[in-house]
Every structure is written in structure tokens, then in C-alpha cells.
Amino acid sequence: MKHLSIAFLLLLIPLLTLAEERDARFTSSPIDSVVFARMKGKSYKDDCTIPLSDLRYLRVLHYDLDGNVCRGELVCNKAISNDLLEIFEALYNARYPIERMVLIDEYDADDERSMTDNNSSCFNFRTVAGTTTLSAHSRGMAIDINPLFNPYVKQSRGKTIVSPAAAGPYVNRAKSFHYKIDRQDLCYRLFIAHGFRWGGAWRSSKDYQHFEK
């Protein structure tokens, strides 16, 4: 019986290693001093009312369009951290392309710069553009995926407002192009299955990059 027990334990070793490998690739942790130093005065502004204890730093793997494996990072609310880990692991397993995922602080928390670079991001303490209302991004409860190819679009006084400004070629959603999110897209289906709402379904405007909970 002793020999059988040892043999059984040896069989478990590869399974444990795989589990540990998964945990190392898709992680959630509190905001430590190193990460906060990158955020301070940028996404985490001096007047930020969100406690750091409400936020989590995520590391995930993702593929880019060329099939390269990339190490992504983002800050989100702890309430959706497990959702995001599960979603990004499913996207990774399906080789779903996400071009870039670094902290928006690398762009000095400038949304236009981050979106133009097609950077996927989550937490940024800011108001909704053109208003004094705090965005869902301020609480880390919203995420933007491949934003250059999935812009914010609104009609105002006969003009089409597009954000980022460089995303004009991707306003027509009848066209086929890389990184496009629509209702058939795996990214859309995963976020909806986890209880998120999609900005592409809004009535007065469309925010095709945006998922919030």
C-alpha cells in the first residue's frame, strides 16, 4: 500500500505543476508600493476617492495579432478581478488577439494616447468626457479592449464624434477588420456571460471597446 501511495503521489506532481503554472500566469494581487508608485498622480490622482484596498493589480497572458505571447497588466476593482482572470484565461486559450495591455500610467493616464496605441486598460480615476460625472473606470469597474479598433462614437449636432480621433476608419461596423468586437465576438460573449454590459449596445452613443459591471 505504501508503494501504491507513493506512485499515486508521483502521478499528482505534473497536475500540481500545471496548476501552479496557471496561477503564475494569471494573477491578482493588492496594489503594492511599486505599482502604486507608477500610478500616483496619474491614474490614481491626488483627489482619488477610491481606497487602494478596493483595487487589484492583475497580470495575465495574451496573444497579439501575430501570435506572439505577451504579458499583460492592468488595475481593476477587486469586485471584478476574478471575472477578468477567467475571461482573459479563456481568451488566451482561444488565442484571441489583444494588441497591448499595459497600465494606462505608461501614457500618463491620458486616454487619447492610450486608446490611439490600441492599449487595453481598466482603472483610471477620471470623469466621463465632457461631464463632471465620474466614469466607471474611476472605480475600476470598466475595461476597454482594443480601443483603437472599437471606438467611442456619438452623433452631436450633425457631427460624428469619434474617440480616439484616429479611429475614424473603424466607425463603420459593417466592415470587416482585425480586433473588431461585435455580438458574435468571443470577447463580447465572455464579458456578457460574466454579467458585464457592453457599450456597443448603448442607444445615445456607442462605445464598442467598453465593458462595465
Phi, psi of 179 (to 5 degrees): 70, 5
**Where are the domains positioned within the chain?**
25-212
**In this predicted structure, what is the pLDDT of residue 10?**
55
pLDDT in tens, 131-151: 778 889 999 999 999 999 999
**In this predicted structure, what is the pLDDT of residue 14?**
57
Q: What percent of the chain has pLDDT over 90?
A: 81
pLDDT in tens, 53-103: 999 999 999 999 999 999 999 999 999 999 999 999 999 999 999 999 999
Q: 164-172 long-range CB contacts below 8 Å, 24 or more apart?
A: 164/111, 164/112, 164/115, 164/116, 165/112, 165/116, 166/116, 167/115, 167/116
Residue 4 has pLDDT above 60, yes or no: no
* pTM for this entry: 0.87
